[in-house]
Structure 1
């Protein structure tokens, strides 16, 4: 899709400018003819020589540096572009584009071009959420500018939140889908297109239909409770936040969602069918009711591996210095479903403290999962009860996604986007 496409890449002055090197490299490898325009601030983070070497084209930064007498450079670049992509786009550049200002090479070219424009914002979370910046982005979307929404995670300034430049691989994928849609004669981007910015439902929405429209998704969340007696039990650490985020994301993507929730510390998201359970057996039976007509099952719950062989009918009184409990294995829900699946897409979770890669790969195979999401719960920001996570996603071929520190909402979104692609036969 990118072979022979002329892409003018605008690089502006944020710390994420270093990612422009990877972006240039990947676009060029896919056959695109990339022409870079840098702002003066961008050159404080990355050199012209780096991007010139990767693209094999001159890099422009000065409006008055006319290298070819036969053309006016900013008009020439504006005219030759099949797409103008600004990545990263700072709040300043977004503001200038919204207001129609033209005081440097990039803004002048943007004002002169009639090509489609795609913008990937990158900035501090509070800047991104500022009313002026939001209004500027909404103005651009209303004019047809395509926005690649930034990710959430640890920002260079030390904050955790939205504002991180989307990864180069994802940006390239969005660009490819844009040209694919153009080749098919579609005015809109396909289902897995970028999430456009807008506060109102559907504002700037560039997708044709929700990603999981018509799919039934069953999600398990929280810890199970295995009774010792009426006041004591065995359980696992789990707040349910990750499962709740997945359920909410699936609903936003158009799916019919059933949330099977065990012991959790927070209320589940509104507008979703919730079935409350206690024990692992209860959870298995609840999932089994929906198993046959489900399309995707996400087992993010922390199910206790063992339960007391017998539960006392009354509160056990203290007797002696020790107490011995005989435990028996609980039903392995994930493994049981893996043996039974007939077309369902099964996603498992693994919370590990060491040898994550080894254990995750082994668990995926043993339990016949389509994807296995693993995290090291000893890592800062990836433990129980947090609003963030750091996950590694495995498929039958090995590691398929390595997500840095992100909000659990963003992890859920990326996991389900990956799931939808794989269900459609796209393995990348």
Structure 2
């Protein structure tokens, strides 16, 4: 952190609202000034007095509609005071109201008057998060420049485990800082690939590898922390999306190639950490292959070399390859760098 910020924290009516107290504590611990704005339903989950004591500021609610004798437009004053607006938790209802530009309470009215960066931390059940209406609202807000911290995969209030859990308070605090404070990658776009690819043999079986995707996801999270816009193209993995990262899920090498090619022209840096399959079955069976003879033959064909093709473009971004080896690491990693004409290869 380079300087203290003025943060307006909007708290909406979801069970994750109880974590807003910890968000205030984390932000103030980093030296930031915090004011809280609660929706009507948020008060069912967290007491305004709690946030008032932790923030050291009066909590903003619907009293702005009552005559106070000051003549101050409280929502305009709050919007002018804040350097960043963070809404955590952001319910599906709140995301919808923000996307539509509604102004039916103090928080959404202030959001319309606010001209700075907005960070939202969605929190809802997995089925709600994946609903087409919510996805459309999220994409609308992204296009307007709204940043998303989470959600992540984990235990939900229903007792289930899935995508929709609010990001951890520390991650939200970091996202708030990244939205305002310039980092070394501010203004840059970083494309990261992660995880394996699965090449279908038949409707049941596939050729894959043991890549967990953890390295690529960690790189994506760090790039966001340093101020970059980050697009993560992920193979089949069981990892939550790092806060602030735009994620594209793929399954096969050809899927990954298409996703990478759609993003690469706008990228300044490509980190190709995915373990892309070198080969795929020449023809996947339409139906499950039944057990028969003691042996079977499977004809394979080469997958395209995604990184080499991107690096060969006339205006190619800075491309970094990764070489996972079981022996002669230096030799094979350097050979890969030379063959693909890359400026850098990370051997592991």
TM value normalised by structure 1 = 0.49
What SS does the corresponding residue of 2:52 show, helix, strand or coil? helix
Residue aligning to 1:57: 57
Q: Contact (CA 8 Å) 1:91, 1:127: kept in 2 or not?
A: yes
1:108 — aligned with what?
A: 109
Which of 178, 182, 191 is equivalent to 2:223? Answer: 191
Per-residue deviation, 1:135: 0.1
How far does the alpha carbon of each residue in 1:49-103 deviate from its partner, in whole angstroms, 9 at most, with x for none?
1111111011011141465715211111111111001011000000000001111
Structure 1's 293 and 51: CA in aligned 2 closer, same or farther, altered over 3 A? farther
* Aligned equivalents of 1:34, 1:45: Cα separation in 2: 19
Counterpart position of 1:336: none
Q: Report what 1:321 is aligned to.
A: none
Q: Is the contact made by 1:217 and 1:256 (CA closer than 8 Å) also made in structure 2?
A: no
Aligned to 2:214: none
Is the CA contact (8 Å cut-off) linking 2:89 and 2:166 kept in structure 1?
yes
Structure 1 or 2, whichever has the larger Rg, is 1
**Shift in Å, 1:148:** 1.5
Per-residue deviation, residues 203-250 of structure 1 (Å, max 9, x unmatched): 99999645xx266989xxxxxxxxxxxxxxxxxxxxxxxxxxxxxxxx
Aligned Cα RMSD in Å?
A: 3.7
Whether 1:155 aligns to 2:156 is: yes
Question: Structure 1's 217 and 173: CA in aligned 2 closer, same or farther, altered over 3 A?
Answer: farther
- 1:115 to partner: Cα distance: 1.3
* C-alpha displacement of 1:149: 2.3
**Distance across 1 between alignment mates of 2:51 and 2:103:** 23
Conserved in 1, the CA contact under 8 Å of 2:35 and 2:58? yes
Q: Match of 1:108, SS?
A: helix
For structure 2, list consecutive stretches of 5 or more residues without a partner in the other structure. Answer: 190-221, 226-242, 250-258, 277-318, 335-345
Change (3 A) 1:137 1:179: same
Distance 2:146 2:31 in 1: 24
Corresponding residue of 1:138? 139
Q: Deviations over 1:27-50 (max 9, x none)?
A: 011111111101111110110011
Q: For residues 161 and 149 of structure 2, what CA distance do their matches in structure 1 show?
A: 19
**How many correspondences in the alignment?**
237
Asked whether the 8 Å contact 2:39–2:107 carries over to 1, the reply is: yes
Please give the alpha-carbon distance, in whole angstroms, between the structure 1 residues aligned to 2:143 and 2:263.
7
Give the 3 Å change call, closer, same or farther, for CA 292–169 of structure 1 in structure 2: farther
Q: 1:87-106 alignment to 2 at 5 Å?
A: 87-106=88-107
Q: Structure 2: how far apart are the matches of 1:37 and 1:87?
A: 11
Distance in 1 (alpha carbons) for counterparts of 2:39 and 2:267: 31
| Distance change (3 Å), C-alpha of 1:185 and 1:149 | closer
Query: Structure 1 residue 288 and structure 2 residue 288: aligned?
Result: no
Q: Is the 8 A contact 1:217 1:255 kept in 2?
A: no
Task: Evaluate the alpha carbon distance shift between residue 94 and residue 216 of structure 1 in structure 2; reply closer, same or farther with a 3 A threshold.
Answer: closer
Say whether the 8 Å CA contact 1:155–1:163 is kept in structure 2.
yes
Matches within 5 A, 1:165-314: 165-181=166-182, 186-187=186-187, 191-193=223-225, 194-197=243-246, 201=259, 209-210=269-270, 213=271, 256=321, 287-290=326-329
Q: Hey, what's the Cα distance between the residues in 2 that align with 1:68 and 1:4?
A: 32
Take 2:43 and 2:163, find their aligned partners in 1: how far apart are those partners?
Answer: 25
Instruction: Report deviation, 1:199.
Output: 5.8
Whole-angstrom distance in 1 between the partners of 2:187 and 2:167:
23
- Cα 1:26/1:99, change in 2 over 3 Å: same
* TM-superposition CA deviations, 1:297-349 (whole Å, max 9, x none): xxxxxxxxxxxxxxxxxxxxxxxxxxxxxxxxxxxxxxxxxxxxxxx998xxx
Map of 2:11 onto structure 1 = 11
Distance 1:124 1:294 in 2: 44
